[in-house]
Chains A and B, each alone.
Chain A
Amino acid sequence: MVYQTPMDISQAPLQLALTVLSFEDTETRDLTDIESRLMHLGFIHGSKIIIKKKAPVFKEPILVEVRGRMVALTKAEAALVNVEVHQ
């Protein structure tokens, strides 16, 4: 299966090692509170993550393993983080 890269977490496949591409220094804008929280939880450029599960109803929240913790994200939150399949 070929995945389009980059994609965001809400579209990414389950149980596959992914590399985070999001959140680099920019001059154009400041990060929002939600982006900052994501970043501090470990969603930051270069981090390895795995999407573990999606909740039964509406396929959200999405459960992601990042830096040794399990984090639940809504689709909207997941859409803020770009990833690519880890080579």
Chain B
Amino acid sequence: MTIPRIALVGMPNVGKTALFNKLTGSHQRVANFPGITVEKKLGWITEKGEKILEVIDLPGLYSLDATTLDEKVTKDFLLQKEKLQSADLFVLVLDATNLDKSLYLAFQLKQLGYPLILVLNLIDEARRRGLELDIPLMEKKLGGVIIPTSGATGEGVETFIHYLKQETNRINEVKIQLPESPQKTFRSPSYVNGIFREIDKLLKETTIKTIKPDHLTERIDHLVLHPIWGSLILITTLLTIFQVLFAWSTPLTEGIEYCLELMSIFASNHISSDLLKSLVVDGVISGVGGVIVFIPQIVLLFLFINFLEDLGYLGRAAFMLDSVMRKLGLPGKAVIPLLSSHACAIPGILATRVIDNHRERLITMLVIPLTTCSARLPVYAILIAALVPDIPVAGLTWFRLPGLVLFGLYALGFCTALLVSFIFKKTLPFESPSMLLMELPPYRIPKFRNLFLGMMNKAKIFLKKAGTIILAVSLVIWVLMTFPRVDGVSQVETSYAASIGHFFEPVFRPLGFDWRMTTALIPSIGAREVVVSALSMVLSIQEGSDGYEQKLTESLLTQFGPGPLMALLIWFVFAPQCISTFAVMKRETNSLKWPLVMVGYTLALAYGSAFLAKIIFSNFS
């Protein structure tokens, strides 16, 4: 039996999602609308453990003259473009603290002939600020039902659910009357002005006591948007995000790694067959580990981002940075994903959700793999140690050449990201106009429940959609590294991976890579840092043995030479050497096309630059 579907409609910043969370609790699921990147939030109202009503939280929209992809989704729902993509009942969520703006949609829907079910959300805050309304009179004038609620305290939610249950029992098909040319009408100034005048008239008649202005928000903004204090707050916030990703998540990540190690040891001790042991330890456990190791960073980052968003600060940060970022071809909000991606591209790509414009979100996602993530550090460390002499720069004992080179690699990645975003900005087709036109909502204290639900949804999506791809690829890599076995033993030299390495050697010969280097690149598709142990494997250096690092760096230089080694270093600056990035981008763009574009251009960039590096540095010694 299909249960009735209720759609929540409303402008951005009316507390719609908080209300949705209050209605559905943990019974919710986030997916994408088919074919596009707009998030679809579905939830269920339950009674005695049984789902009785389905609730869909539609993207916020300002008017039926939809200009963005998100707005179009909601508009199509409302105008019943397709039967399946619609709802049995539409509920319009209003912001009681600002009826001036939020009644706009109510009048639009009324004109179309919808029976109005209005939820007067944030009523607690409005009342606190002294608002008194003649609700029965307003219901009469509008010809609808008004239910005051608060997504924060839960006030009115029971009444609302009770009303929904009654109402869905006698659903009548709504016949909506569209104007002759809807788009033209919705966009005509006289039509818009007419609605504004109706709102003003209605509010004049039904307001008993007007709401006091939000002086608190104004006072906070005085500080937060101040040239000096505001910049300090901004820098502190950005540094905290960095800390969250690099430092705070470390104990959790290490804890997970510790548990995995215990499991590996347990498996090693209890499985007698070598092959099965290898499958469990090197295949399954390390594959699963490769997925869940991202969870602490994702969870913490989103706890923090959702906190800033619900607080109202995210928009302020964008306000402070927008002009600078826009000169570089990206919107102000892109600073958060770009910063996060210096820890790891996975949370970075997920964080692009904060960017409203789809084209700008896509461009940010496409350039994120160029920023220097922490998985590159062990690779850089070993290659720099092999290539760069540890000498002081400009006679300063504390400022040494390897450090300068490492900084250069960071700068190379970041500057290339900006350059590429500039190129994409000029070449990618327009979907929707690039605009800032952003509302800065009043400051509100975030509710932990909403932060928690948002964070859980992120983690769930990652595990389900990206996790499966990452795990599958890890298993394939295990097979390639393990088979075929010679005399019951796995040897890198004779593995399928080595055969593939040999096969691709001619392709990489211009870069100076021999089959050992190309073979070492294969397992590092799973995770960049693995290339270090893969290189020691192909060079037959026992990992963790005495003077391991010294032996490895010396051997790297003598076996491969400075040119190819430098080419390898530059390769790792640009190459899409990370299946998780691909998987997460596929899930976030809801397509195969964009991750392939990313792989294509980064491969070309890596190949070209590595080739140049090889030529330039081959004559060094």
Contact = CB atoms under 8 A, between A and B. Distances in A.
B485 to A, nearest CB: 62
A60 B438 CA distance: 13
Interface residues of B, number: 41
B437 A67 contact: no
Contact-residue size bin, chain A (C-beta under 8 Å from the other chain): 35 or more
Contacts of A63: 225, 319, 440
Contacts of A55: 225, 319-320, 322-323
A74 B196 contact: no
A6 B322 CA distance: 27
A31 interface: yes
A83 B573 CA distance: 51
A35 to B, nearest CB: 9
A8 to B, nearest CB: 15
B125 interface: no
Nearest to B315: A72
A72 B319 contact: yes
Contact of B323 (A23, A46, A57): A57
A67 B67 CA distance: 20
A17 interface: no
A36 B187 contact: yes
A32 B225 contact: no
A33 B432 contact: yes
A30 B181 CA distance: 13
A25 B189 contact: yes
Q: Which of B100, B231, B324, B435 has the largest count of A CB atoms less than 10 A from its CB?
A: B435
Contacts of B226: 56
Given A45-B189, A45-B193, A72-B315, A32 B433 contact: yes
Contact of B438 (A31, A56, A71): A71
A3 interface: no
Contacts of B62: 37, 40-41
A77 B67 CA distance: 15
Contact of B192 (A39, A70, A71, A74): A39
A14 interface: no
B98 A69 contact: yes
Q: Which of B100, B193, B320 has the largest count of A CB atoms less than 10 A from its CB?
A: B193
- Interface of chain A, main secondary structure: loop
A66 to B, nearest CB: 9
Given A40-B104, A44-B193, A67-B101, A34 B437 contact: yes
B381 to A, nearest CB: 36
Interface string A42-62: 101111000011011111110
Contacts of B323: 55, 57-61, 74
A67 B226 CA distance: 24
A7 interface: no
B439 A70 contact: yes
Contact of A25 (B188, B227, B327): B188
A72 B438 contact: yes
Interface string B326-364: 110000000000000000000000000000000000000
Given A25-B188, A72-B440, A42 B101 contact: yes
Contacts of A23: 189, 192
A74 B357 CA distance: 15
Contact of A41 (B193, B318, B324, B439): B439
Contacts of A77: 435-437
Interface string B222-233: 000111001100
Nearest to B71: A37
A77 to B, nearest CB: 6
Contacts of B166: none
Interface of B: 62-63, 65, 67, 98, 100-101, 104, 184, 187-190, 192-193, 196, 217, 221, 225-227, 230-231, 315, 318-320, 322-324, 326-327, 432-433, 435-441
Given A34-B437, A52-B221, A71-B438, 5 more contacts: A40-B65, A45-B189, A56-B231, A57-B320, A61-B319
22 contacts: A23-B189, A34-B433, A37-B67, A37-B437, A40-B62, A41-B439, A46-B193, A55-B225, A56-B225, A56-B226, A56-B320, A57-B320, A57-B324, A58-B327, A60-B323, A61-B322, A63-B319, A68-B98, A68-B101, A70-B440, A74-B323, A77-B435
